[in-house]
Structure 1
Amino acid sequence: MMNIFYLFSLIPFIFIYDIYMFQLSFLFLMIMIFKSNFYMFYCSVSYFFGVDFYSYWMLFLLVFIIMMTLFCFNYFNFIIFFFVILVLMLSLKLVFFSMNILMMYMFFEFSLIPLIVLIFGWGYQPERLISGFYLFFYTLFSSLPLLIFIFNLYFYNSFFFDLVLKLNYSFYLNFCLIFSFLVKFPMFMLHFWLPKAHVQAPLFGSMILAGITLKLGGYGMIRFMFMFEDIFFYYGYIWYSLSIYGSLLVSYICLIQSDLKFLIAYSSISHMGLCIMGFSSMLSLGVLGSYLMLICHGFCSSGLFCLAGFYYNYIYSRSFFINKGMMNYFPSMSMFWFFFCSINMSCPPSVNFLSEFLIMNSMISYSSISLFYMFLIFFFVSCFNFYLFSYMNHGKMYFSFSMELGSVMHYMIVFFHMIYLLMFNFYFYFILF
């Protein structure tokens, strides 16, 4: 409750028109979260709110991404922007704090409204209206089965996550339970809203989408997985098969992209497919590997979208055919490209490598045949990350347009992403080994 009231206390600062005050306030909030004690089970329980291991790192990632978005803001409609950011952060924090299923569902769906306002209000092209409607109707359509399932829980007189039920093995129940989270991931064939939303969203909108919104699906799946283990285990092979096929196909699609944001968005779909496979295996190694991939992907994809957005501000294009030879113009920025592409392709000793290793072990235990597909997915993920880095930074520069110089603020944002990602790597290697 202290963290929630702290956000409410920031509302009067909206009218001061001081961005540095907001950044300092979110930095204090991150320190409060980092210094709080957490265990594997819920702690600091008060008024149906609590925090555990799974929600702790989601909260840390949320505050970090929101703090980075404040650096990317261009001072247009300051008061409206900060009010929307506060509403979005409050709704997402309540999702991760909630111990009540119905309360989590309410804020899970309410977080869609400020996100659409960000896309509609600060998007680049008029096509942002279509992408916002894609996001809205996909989320609305997928959330109705989950709401029906939650209403059925009313007959068990409990809406809390400590409830453990043995339901009948009905595919319709499993579909209603998991469909909304698969759209948020998103799983292949339910992913059409994601590239459109990323391309039309502003830079801070893409950071929030990639760093936080995609993690809501994984967080919701973890919460319901421990409540309904039998039904998840019984029908897990369906979502496992679709995810392994989708990750492989999306890796092919990444190799034919010519737009920076499209490629990074499709790479997120491929990585989230690996997370669904880890969760569907219902093994402890798979669940831990998928959770680690969610957190590491939040930092890495947010950094990649930052780099893509900065290059768009410099060159006014996201095409690979124009953004070439940047190593000659921004050698320091090319170093950051190399770092994030290496993390995205799971080079050791990153936590991304550890998470994929754990997921691969769970996949071999679940189905040994899937090992061949796993090798193909890893190979093509490495290929499109190498394709992304080499096309951007090597080759002959295109000089038929004017370019803008880089900003120290841009380097600082990417540097913070790199530092926090390295801290996260060292921390988890320390506690696991």
Structure 2
Amino acid sequence: MMKFFMMMMFMMFMCLKKNMFWMVQFMFMFMMVMFMNMTIMIENFCNLSYMLGCDMISYGLILLSIWITFLMIMASESLKKISFYDNFFLFNIILLMIMLYLTFSMMNLFLFYFFFESSLIPTLMLIIGWGYQPERIQAGMYLLFYTLFASLPLLMGIFFLYKEMNYMMMYMLKFYDYNLLLLYLCLILAFLVKMPMYFVHLWLPKAHVEAPISGSMILAAIMLKLGGYGLLRIMIVLQKINLSMSFIWIVISLVGGFYISLKCFCQIDMKSLIAYSSVAHMSMVIGGIMTMNYWGYMGSYILMIGHGLCSSGMFCLSNINYERLNSRSLFLNKGLMNFMPSMSLWWFLLMSSNMAAPPSLNLMGEISLINSLISWSWISMIMLMGISFFSAGYSLYLYFYTQHGKYNLGIYSFYSGTSREYLMLMLHWMPLNILILKIDYSMIWF
């Protein structure tokens, strides 16, 4: 695991030279191929080096991180065109990737916390440095303080675990089970804010709307998954108390997810709509993890990977429109089928994946989560029906609103999609729908 870390460290020096934009992207692609060919054991941590290790959960999420980082650089060509601090931008992205890589592969609980929080800094720099509107400062503050406020109790909880157990290796957590309410709240609150759970989700739409395309992609694809990853890891020591407390989080998530799905119909900003749909999907993931059964764990893992690819692709689509129209308003983005008929196909394909149509990973994840939540309580079926139905509703709403209708006469100076954009969308959609053929790797390892 250390070799990939060293590779990224040395990639930072490429940012000192001019015209290294596509070279860095190529290096991430190369790293992706190397990481995919790594030997991995399904049942245990493997590839141990220093404090780094990799098991199936880490493997999938690191793979997703490298893939999205490589696509982020591809999506940000406009920075390269106008030479807007593009070298510093690359440095920022490599730094963020290093933080994410260390978060997912760290086996020491305190260092996991350290890198979990450190990943905020490059994200904040992306939003404040390359965002569009002046409100990005406020969005950055929201992001910082929401997540930091909930993180201090997590640090205290980790120190308490160290005092009780005298070690911090994640693998050893399975020998303990604490039935302490305060510890339970301390340990899971930070992850629920990061997911984000309904009630503590307000930072997400703000951050998404103000972030540049690369910031939105990494926020949707990876940052939300940090919360899910933390929950999957930490639930091992909280099994007993979670059995009596989980109904609170499941109820909040399901009702919140249903309400957020309705709220998606009120949005007039494309990015805002996609951001709120992320909250609705993540609410199902929280529900699945909290039921603490096999289907729930598997479904949450698969939906996290699927949502990462799908949501990131949808942000790319909204950005492609934004680069042409300089607006993300649904009132101006109309009738685009007349101007970019080929792009309408990609809108359709990614929207269908977002509403969990076959053969996407989202479908497999949602089937597992529905299975898990209904086995926990059949009453949850009511909210699940609402979330599933309305997820199709707002996906179609976004698709029809942008592709059909009377187009604005101001957009005659439109230019069609470039091969870079089509390739970028294909690289989002292909893994999302082809990985279903190898779903056994995601379902049978646990």
Scaled by the length of structure 1, the TM-score of the pair is 0.97
Q: Alpha-carbon deviation of 1:430?
A: 7.6
* 1:313 shift after superposition: 0.7
Q: C-alpha displacement at 1:362, in angstroms?
A: 0.9
Asked whether 1:409 is paired with 2:395, we answer no
Q: How does 1:21-60 map to 2 (within 5 A)?
A: 21-38=23-40, 39-60=42-63
Q: How many residues align?
A: 433
For residue 41 of structure 1, give the secondary structure of its aligned residue in structure 2: coil
Structure 1 residues 21-30 or 412-421, which shifts more?
412-421
The offset of 1:355, in angstroms, is 1.1
Q: Helix, strand or coil for the counterpart of 2:48?
A: strand
Alpha-carbon displacement from aligned partner over 1:296-335 (angstroms, at most 9, x marks no partner): 0000000000000110111111111111111111111110
Alignment correspondent of 2:4: 3
Using the alignment, how far apart are the partners of 1:233 and 1:41 within structure 2? 25
Distance of 2:186 and 2:274 partners within structure 1:
30
Q: Distance in 2 between matches of 1:292 and 1:269?
A: 16
2:296 paired residue number: 286
Offset, 1:78: 2.0
Among 328, 340, 363, the alignment partner of 1:353 is 363
| 1-structure distance, mates of 2:369, 2:375 | 10
SS in 2 for 1:228: helix
Structure 2 vs 1, CA of residues 432 and 181 (structure 1 numbering), >3 Å: closer, same or farther? closer
Q: Does 1:124 align with 2:132?
A: yes
1:430–1:8 CA distance, 2 compared to 1 (3 A) = closer
| 1:90 maps onto 2:98 in alignment | yes
Query: Where in structure 2 are there 5+ consecutive unaligned residues?
Result: none
Matches within 5 A, 1:100-249: 100-155=108-163, 156-161=165-170, 162-164=172-174, 166=176, 168-249=178-259
Does residue 1:393 correspond to 2:403, yes or no?
A: yes
Letter in 1 for 2:72: T
- Give, in whole Å, the separation in 2 of the partners of 1:40 and 1:142: 32
Structure 1 pair 403–169 and aligned structure 2 pair: CA distance change class (3 A): farther
Q: Matched residues in 2 for 1:308 and 1:169: separation? A: 46
Cα distance in 2, alignment partners of residues 347 and 9 from structure 1: 41
What stretches of structure 1 of length at least 5 have no aligned partner? Answer: none
- Mapped to 2, the partners of 1:384 and 1:36 lie a distance apart of 39
1:423 matches 2:434: yes
Q: Measure the CA separation in 2 of the matches of 1:427 and 1:107.
A: 31
CA RMSD of aligned residues (A): 1.5
Task: Name the aligned partner's letter for residue 274 of structure 1.
Answer: M
Q: For residues 374-393 of structure 1, what are the structure 2 equivalents within 5 Å?
A: 374-393=384-403
Give me the whole-angstrom Cα distance separating, in 2, the residues matched to 1:424 and 1:393: 28
Deviation at 1:210, TM superposition (A): 0.4
The whole-number CA distance in structure 1 between the counterparts of 2:341 and 2:237 is: 50
4-13 or 416-425: which moved more? 416-425
The more displaced of 282-291 and 74-83 is 74-83
Q: Distance in 1 between matches of 2:86 and 2:46?
A: 37
**Does the 8 Å CA contact 2:359/2:433 hold for their aligned counterparts?**
no
Task: Give the secondary-structure state (helix, strand or coil) at the position aligned to 1:32.
Answer: helix
1:344 deviates by 0.5
User: Would the aligned equivalents of 1:164 and 1:228 in 2 still touch at CA under 8 Å?
Assistant: no
**Following the alignment from structure 2 to structure 1, what is the Cα–Cα distance between the partners of residues 328 and 298?**
35
Q: Spell out, residue by residue over 1:217-244, the C-alpha distance to the aligned partner (whole angstroms, 9 max, x if none).
A: 0000011112332222231111111101
**Cα distance, 1:424 vs structure 2:** 2.1
Report the Cα offset of residue 189 of structure 1. 0.5
In the TM superposition, residue 432 of structure 1 has moved relative to its aligned partner by 5.3
> What SS class does the counterpart of residue 255 from structure 2 fall into?
helix
Q: Which amino acid aligns with 1:417?
A: H
The 10-residue stretch of structure 1 (259-268 or 223-232) with the greater mean CA deviation from structure 2: 223-232
SS state at 1:318 partner: coil
Three-state SS of the structure 2 residue aligned to 1:126 is coil
* Alpha-carbon separation, structure 2, partners of 1:401 and 1:370: 46
Distance in 2 separating the partners of 1:312 and 1:402: 15
How far did residue 431 of structure 1 move?
7.0
**Aligned amino acid, residue 400 of structure 1:** G
Contact 1:174 1:235 in 2 (8 A): no
Q: Is the 8 A contact 2:346 2:425 kept in 1?
A: yes
Q: What's the counterpart of residue 12 of structure 1?
A: 13
Q: Distance in 2 between matches of 1:210 and 1:157?
A: 36
Q: Is the 8 A contact 1:165 1:228 kept in 2?
A: no
Question: Offset of 1:37 from its aligned partner?
Answer: 1.5
